């Protein structure tokens, strides 16, 4: 096949090498397609380089530093605890390098051609890939766009050395004495908690009624309780108005309860959401349809209004989650190969690496009732779990949402230690159409946090052993 003056060179071109793009490229190659992937940055995208992975590394370092000060309840006392933040950043960098190097190896191992540069669409079968020195045209039968997103920059808070995005917060050379965080969503809460554990005096300004509004109130309350223990100030219904910078810090002005306030800090971290990277790549040249937020419209196979071009990840509707992007990447690659794969978001979990960790999958109790289901919510506390007690970390609970008529599990929430790991079993139950009885009859090792799922299932069945 020839398009214009160019023969078709690729079965599939993937634009963007983040967790959506590189997964899509590998799956397409596994399906027998001739694949190339292009990115102007480092393999792994935001997630591996300046997002999920480095933030969790920093959060873990904060946990270690906090725990190093001892556990009075357990009789453990320590003195002279110190931290070399440059070493923390060096270690974090090594974690990132291992994973990005691993992605490169996986792509090469699956015979995916790796291209470096910015891609610009010429038409529905052609892109021009440009770097600082060269411009090369490539043609393709199909394309998967996975260009990701970037932090939203507020008009009165332009990013500088002192007004920073999540990327800047992950790469500070010092532990701030004071930090203001604008936005109490999952990014602001995670990074605010991490720096609070390092000893930073943190103030969170949130415009909504509460922080972490995507989670149930009882879950949010647990996080807020722990933030207060760390002396984190949380101001809700607060609107950030502006910032004045000095050589050594910032003064942030905000309005709350009809009054204007100021707070001084070393840095102000802006975490008010992310913006899709859909500009300046030539989408208008192809006629790809966007919605009012700049997101690409897709069908259930991630196909755009152009039948050979697909879009995944942060540039389509839904939460900007790495695992959502990876999932969609597999769907798109399989659709190109003629499979009947379709997206179904019910089983996609959302996690916040706060203290305690929060995780949810499927329906919450309120969402299920709103959708017309007659449901039962079965809750089991971490305080009744032997492993949680032995960890000296027994705050929180698990909740299973089941359909009354047959015990079908349609959702679940976890607030507590290792919630990010525990939620996977509930996700499997939702995805597989399992019932509470299925989980209750599954033997779980003792003593483990995983027993929480079995115990909550027994509560759902009305036959709990370790709770009343």
Tokens, residue 317 = 């509707």
8 A C-beta contact, residue 419 and residue 357: yes
Question: Does residue 12 have a known ligand-binding role?
Answer: no
Question: Domain extents for the chain?
Answer: 2-151+275-345, 163-272, 356-460
Helix or strand run (H / E) with residue 401? strand 397-403
Q: How far apart are CA 148 and CA 278, in angstroms?
A: 8
8 A C-beta contact, residue 398 and residue 450: no
Question: Does residue 273 have a known ligand-binding role?
Answer: yes
8 A C-beta contact, residue 265 and residue 272: no
Q: Is there a common fold for 2-151+275-345 and 163-272?
A: yes
Fold type of domain 2-151+275-345: FAD/NAD(P)-binding domain (3.50.50)
8 A C-beta contact, residue 202 and residue 265: no
Q: How far apart are CA 110 and CA 106, in angstroms?
A: 6
Question: Does residue 184 have a known ligand-binding role?
Answer: yes
Q: How far apart are CA 278 and CA 294, in angstroms?
A: 7
Please tell me which residue in 125, 261, 446, 466 is annotated as part of the active site.
Answer: 446
Of 216, 217, 212, 204, nearest to 186 (Cα)? 212
Instruction: Please name every residue paired with 129 in a beta bridge, in sequence order, or none if there are none.
Output: 119, 136
What is the structure's pLDDT at 133? Answer: 85
Helix or strand run (H / E) with residue 181? strand 178-182
What is the structure's pLDDT at 7? Answer: 56
Fold type of domain 356-460: Enolase-like; domain 1 (3.30.390)
CATH for 163-272, options being 3.40.50.1580, 3.50.50.60, 3.40.50.300, 3.30.300.30: 3.50.50.60
What is the structure's pLDDT at 41? Answer: 92
Question: Does residue 426 have a known ligand-binding role?
Answer: no
Tokens, residue 91 = 């270690």
Question: Does residue 217 have a known ligand-binding role?
Answer: no
pLDDT tens by residue, the chain, 468 residues:
454 455 569 999 999 999 999 999 999 999 999 999 999 999 999 999 999 999 999 999 999 999 999 888 899 999 999 999 999 999 999 999 999 999 999 999 999 999 999 999 999 999 999 988 889 999 999 999 999 999 999 999 999 999 999 999 999 999 999 999 999 999 999 999 999 999 999 999 999 999 999 999 999 999 999 999 999 999 999 999 999 998 889 999 999 999 999 999 999 999 999 999 999 999 999 999 999 999 999 999 999 999 999 999 999 999 999 999 999 999 999 999 999 999 999 999 999 999 999 999 999 999 999 999 999 999 999 999 999 999 999 999 999 999 999 999 999 999 999 999 999 999 999 999 999 999 999 999 999 999 999 999 999 999 999 987
Alpha-carbon separation of residue 369 from 302, 372, 438, 461 (angstroms) = 29, 5, 23, 19
What is the structure's pLDDT at 468? Answer: 79
Question: Does residue 275 have a known ligand-binding role?
Answer: no
How crowded is residue 392: how many other Cβ atoms within 10 Å of its Cβ? 11
DSSP string, 264-292: EESEEEE-S-EEE--SSS-HHHHT--B-T
Q: How far apart are CA 273 and CA 142, in angstroms?
A: 31
Q: Is 446 a catalytic residue?
A: yes
By residue count, the chain amounts to: 468
DSSP character at residue 40: S
28 preceded by a cis bond (ω within 30 of 0): no
């Amino acid at each position: 096949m020839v398009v214009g003056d160019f023969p078709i060179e690729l079965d599939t071109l993937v634009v963007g090498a983040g967790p959506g793009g590189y997964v899509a490229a590998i799956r397409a190659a596994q399906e027998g397609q001739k694949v190339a992937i292009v990115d102007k940055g480092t393999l792994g995208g935001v997630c591996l380089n300046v997002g999920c992975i480095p933030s969790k590394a920093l959060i873990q370092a904060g946990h270690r530093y906090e725990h190093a000060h001892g556990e009075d309840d357990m009789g453990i006392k320590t003195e002279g605890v110190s931290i070399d933040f440059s070493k923390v950043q060096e270690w974090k960098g090594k974690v990132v390098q291992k994973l990005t190097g691993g992605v490169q190896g996986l792509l090469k191992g699956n015979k995916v051609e790796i291209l470096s540069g910015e891609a610009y669409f010429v038409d529905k079968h052609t892109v021009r890939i440009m770097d600082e020195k060269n411009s090369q045209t490539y043609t393709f039968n199909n394309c998967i766009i996975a260009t990701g997103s970037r932090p939203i920059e507020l008009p009165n808070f332009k990013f500088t050395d002192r007004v920073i995005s999540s990327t800047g917060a992950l790469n500070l050379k010092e532990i701030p004495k004071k930090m203001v965080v604008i936005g109490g969503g999952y990014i602001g809460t995670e990074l605010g908690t991490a720096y609070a554990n390092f000893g930073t005096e943190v103030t969170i300004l949130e415009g909504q009624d509460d922080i972490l509004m995507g989670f149930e109130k009882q879950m949010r309350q647990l996080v807020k309780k722990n933030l207060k223990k760390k002396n984190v100030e949380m101001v809700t219904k607060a609107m950030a108005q502006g910032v004045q910078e000095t050589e050594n810090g910032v003064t942030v002005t905000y309005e709350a309860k009809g009054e204007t306030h100021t707070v001084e800090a070393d840095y102000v971290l802006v975490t008010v959401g992310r913006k899709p990277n859909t500009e300046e790549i030539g989408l208008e040249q192809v006629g790809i349809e966007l919605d009012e937020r700049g997101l690409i419209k897709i069908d259930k196979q991630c196909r755009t209004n152009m039948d050979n071009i697909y879009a995944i990840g942060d540039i389509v509707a839904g939460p900007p989650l790495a695992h959502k992007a990876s999932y969609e990447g597999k769907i798109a690659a399989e659709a190109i190969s003629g499979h009947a794969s379709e997206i179904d978001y019910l089983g996609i979990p959302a996690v916040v690496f706060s203290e305690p960790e929060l995780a949810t999958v499927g329906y919450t109790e309120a969402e299920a009732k709103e959708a017309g289901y007659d449901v039962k919510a079965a809750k089991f506390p971490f305080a009744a779990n032997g492993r949680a007690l032995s960890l000296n970390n027994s705050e929180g609970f698990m909740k299973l949402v089941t359909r009354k008529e047959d015990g079908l599990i349609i959702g679940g929430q976890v607030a507590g230690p290792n919630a990010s790991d525990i939620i996977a079993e509930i996700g499997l139950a939702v995805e597989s159409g399992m019932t509470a009885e299925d989980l209750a009859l599954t033997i779980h090792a003792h003593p483990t946090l995983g027993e929480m799922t079995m115990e909550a299932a027994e509560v759902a069945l009305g036959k709990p052993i370790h709770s009343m």
